[in-house]
Structure formats: structure tokens, C-alpha cells
Amino acid sequence: MVGLIIRFIVMTVAVLIAGSIIPGVRIDTLPGAILAAVILSLLNSFVRPILVLLTLPINLLTLGLFTLVINGLLMAVTAKFVKEFHVDGFGSAILAALVVSIVATLLNFMVGDKKEKK
């Protein structure tokens, strides 16, 4: 349960950082960023694996770079669901998805699982 909360906080921070770095991404309120993190996490958990599986041939041809397009699509869909989260175009959505992926990976690595082995 604690790991889930930490990952949620990491995703929220990643969304906030993307909103402050990418010119075409705007977050109006902190609750909007939290809601965007929730929606993006749900889409990444349930919809993304299906999309990756359906686009496997093109993903193999592009050596995995098409996954970035899928992540950008999910970022744009998140912006449609959350009023306080705005993405101006598909290019901004792809850049925001890239920033969120990098920041979330780095933060998850820094936080990590601190389970002790017995």
C-alpha cells in the first residue's frame, strides 16, 4: 500500500514538472495535477498494454519508438478528461510524455523499494 502511494506521488511530481518545463502543457491547479496523475496512471495501467500489444508490428519496426507516440496519445487523452490540465498539441503531448517518463523513472529509482532481506 505504501509503495502504491509513493508511486502516485512520484507520478504527480512528474506531471507537475512536465507542466512547468513543456511550453504547450499547462496545469491550472494542484488538484488538477493530482487528477491528471490519477487518470494517467489508470490509462497507463489498463489501456497502454492493450495499445502496445495491438501496435506490436509497428513498434518492432520503429525499435520501440512508437511507444512514445502511444504515451503521447495517453497524455492527450488525459488532457481531455481533466479540465485543469491542458495540452496544446500532439507534439507537446509527446514531449510531456517523454518528460513524465524520464522524471518518473528517475524518482522511482531514487525512492526505490527499501525492503530488507531476512
Which residues contact residue 96 at a Cβ distance below 8 angstroms, ignoring those fewer than 6 apart? 18, 19, 22, 24, 25, 72, 75, 87
CB half-sphere exposure, 44, CA atoms < 13 A: 18
In this prediction, what percent of the chain has a pLDDT beyond 90?
A: 84
Which residues contact residue 69 at a Cβ distance below 8 angstroms, ignoring those fewer than 6 apart? 94
pLDDT surpasses 70 at 116: no
The whole-chain average pLDDT of the chain stands at: 92
Q: What is the pLDDT of residues 10-66, one digit of tens each?
A: 999 999 999 999 999 999 999 999 999 999 999 999 999 999 999 999 999 999 999
The predicted pLDDT at position 114 comes to: 58
Give the global pTM: 0.88
Confidence of residue 111 (pLDDT cuts 50, 70, 90): confident
The predicted pLDDT at position 12 comes to: 95
In this prediction, what percent of the chain has a pLDDT beyond 70?
A: 95
Confidence of residue 108 (pLDDT cuts 50, 70, 90): confident
Closest of 68, 41, 37 to residue 55, by C-alpha:
68
